[in-house]
Structure 1
Amino acid sequence: MTAEEPYTVELASDVYAYVQPDGGWCLNNSGFVSDGTSTLLVDTAATERRTRALGAATGVPRPRLLVNTHHHGDHTYGNGFFTPAATLVSHSARRREALAGGQHLHLLWPRTDFGDVSIQGADLTYDDRVTLHVGDIEAQVIHPGVSHTVGDSVVWLPHRRVLFAGDLVFEGGTPFFLMGSLSGSLRALALLRELGAETVAPGHGPVIDPSAFDRAERYMRFVAEVAEKSHAAGLTPLEAARSTDLGEYAAPPESERLAANLRRAYAELDGEPEGEGVDPFAGFMDMAALNGGEMMTCHA
């Protein structure tokens, strides 16, 4: 458990982010939009305890709509505390991956007390984009392509200039695209820039402005450069990660993600389709090896 408590910040009229410091492994952000009568919730939390705290913190009517930005358990394990009263909305690939992956966080962190959590598919799926309405507030749910995962969504509020970016943005942490695509993540960032957001609620870390896209892109291009050189030299992704001088990227938390990100970059250099051709478990084992042989800590 982190020393800092979660907090709620108002992003615009009737729009809020629920931030869980320090934004590390298993500590995601959520958000909600409410006109006082109807509520849209963006993502839940990794544990029963943290999801109940999220529900108590909103101070608004129980959500009628719930959007998952992707299938990872830190964003979805708490779905069951809001459904079936809330209609669960996601990209079609997120629904598939959630049902196929099951309680995957339990496998990675078996000692963590996740509580009574259940795996939820989705009541409503879409493939490109869908528009939801909370009173007179328009929420565009957009699939940016294969990026952090194969089934990502962002939630764009054009009349509030607020973007819930999901895990396309790790503010203050290291980007992660083991289960998605490096090239797809770069395309997704270009799409997000075009929206014209003024305020960005990331999937992890504090609320920020669109400069977050530039920081994420610089890291991704760094990974691409390392991958090209190391792949050509015949190094494995783990060997490449161990021999790389991280420079400015040594300071942000979760720097061990380089090993997993290189696996994804190598797959794309080998011609694998985006989102395919990589064993996620092997990527986590590489990160653990880079982390001194220990699995990274789940902070939830």
Structure 2
Amino acid sequence: MAKAFASQGDLDVKEITWTQLSENAYAYTAEGDPNSGVVIGDDCVLIIDTTGTPAMAQQLIAKIRSVTDKPIKYVVLSHYHAVRVLGASAYFREGAQEVIASRGTYELIVERGEADMKSEIERFPRLFAGAETVPGLTWPTLVFEKEITLFLGKLEVKIAHPGAGHTKGDAVVWLPSQKVLFSGDLVEYGAACYCGDAQLAEWPATLEALRALGAEKLVPGRGPALVTREDIEQALNYTKDFVTTLLESGRDAVAQKLDLKGAMAHTRKVMDPKFGHVFIYEHCLPFDVSRAYDEASGVSHPRIWTAERDREMWDQLQG
């Protein structure tokens, strides 16, 4: 029996958890759904990732308003994927003045933002509830190359591109005085790594750059907020294991001259026993295998996913 396309069959509402990490930092998580982060400074609020639609963003705004009435001045995009960025317009009604992203994220929005929006909404409709409230693509108003520093009053907030991984433009938010890190999808915990647009060979080095920060609290892209060094180490190691195992499987498949369907079968033998139980694994795996096979074949820049390409690939690998 064919599997439902991507996550169209995932209709169960997840329980939202609102966790205070420090005097200024909060995590908004939901059982393996995409996470958001919140930093409340002396005079304003900064958001990391917006949820998928303005309608869905209202739940996060309600959590923020339960603890502060300060204006939401900054919106940070950890990367370009629609599920992270399309809710941005909701925050302009709350005082947002800047949408901040890396140069790489801006370039990816230009190149593939429209295709990604259509692709993601079809893949996972539950994460785009109220899609009719999305006014269009989210465009950064402030683009940085490597790192910028903001001060929310006296609170120092660093926004950096530590290297490629989940995409070529991943950004993290770091509170050095409190050792709190918001990693976006560069780090996952208890959930599959979506690698359809990844730079797999570069990802491990980027993880080591994050490890070197010595974070004491970390909000991954998916999974619970991590509040001990032990859990953070486990998450970093888990993510590194996932992406390296995936790429090695892709390289093995290419070396054996397997076709893409053969690569899927080969990768399953290695990945399923280790990762088959985690959130969104079956959703991610065919996209992951496709990217690993491409990268192992010398395709350095990920091909654009369209709604049509999604369906063709899914029928081939999961049908």
- TM-score normalised by structure 1 residue count: 0.87
Q: Is the 8 A contact 2:54 2:89 kept in 1?
A: no
- The separation in 2 between residues aligned to 1:218 and 1:286, in whole angstroms, is 29
Per-residue deviation, residues 159-188 of structure 1 (Å, max 9, x unmatched): 111110001122211112221210121111
Residue identity in the other structure for 2:290: R
Structure 2 counterparts to residues 72-221 of structure 1, below 5 A:
72-83=81-92, 85-100=96-111, 101-102=113-114, 104-110=116-122, 113-118=130-135, 119-208=137-226, 209-211=231-233, 212-221=235-244
Percent identity, aligned pairs only, is 26
- 8 A Cα contact 1:260 1:286, kept in partner: no
Q: Does the residue aligned with 1:223 lie in a helix, a strand or coil? A: helix
User: After superposition, what is the alpha-carbon deviation per residue over 1:49-84, rounded to whole angstroms, capped at 9, x for unaligned?
Assistant: 211111111022231111110111111111111237
Number of the residue aligned with 1:22 = 31
Aligned equivalents of 2:185 and 2:295: distance in 1? 20
- How many residue pairs match? The answer is 287
> CA 1:99–1:81 in 2, change beyond 3 Å: closer, same or farther?
farther
**1:5 pairs with 2:23:** no
Residues 93 and 9 of structure 1, relative CA distance in 2, 3 Å threshold = same
Task: Name the structure with the higher helix share.
Answer: 2
> Unmatched 5+ residue regions in structure 1?
294-300
| Aligned residue in 2 for 1:224 | 247
- Cα deviation, residue 290, structure 1: 7.2
The CA deviation string for residues 131-170 of structure 1, in whole angstroms up to 9 with x for no partner, is 1111221111111222111211011111111110001122
Q: Structure 2 vs 1, CA of residues 192 and 284 (structure 1 numbering), >3 Å: closer, same or farther? A: farther
| Inter-partner Cα distance in structure 1 for 2:49 and 2:159 | 13
Cross-structure match for 1:271? 298
CA RMSD in angstroms, aligned pairs only = 2.2
1:13 maps to a residue whose letter is E
Structure 1 residues 207 and 85, CA gap change in structure 2 (3 angstroms) = closer
Whether 1:260 aligns to 2:271 is no
Contact 1:94 1:151 in 2 (8 A): yes
Which residue identity lines up with residue 268 of structure 1 in the other structure?
E
For the Cα contact (< 8 Å) 1:41–1:67, is it kept in 2? yes
**Inter-partner Cα distance in structure 2 for 1:179 and 1:156:** 24
More displaced, 83-92 or 38-47? Answer: 83-92
Q: In the aligned structure 1, how far is the partner of 2:257 from the partner of 2:166?
A: 26
Query: Counterpart of 1:235 in 2: which secondary structure?
Result: coil
Counterpart amino acid of 1:75? Answer: R
TM-score by length of 2: 0.82
Cα deviation 1:98-133 (Å, max 9, x = unaligned):
244127344443465423113221111001111111
User: Take 1:248 and 1:254, find their aligned partners in 2: how far apart are those partners?
Assistant: 14
Moved over 6 A (4+): none
In structure 2, distance between residues paired with 1:162 and 1:5 = 23
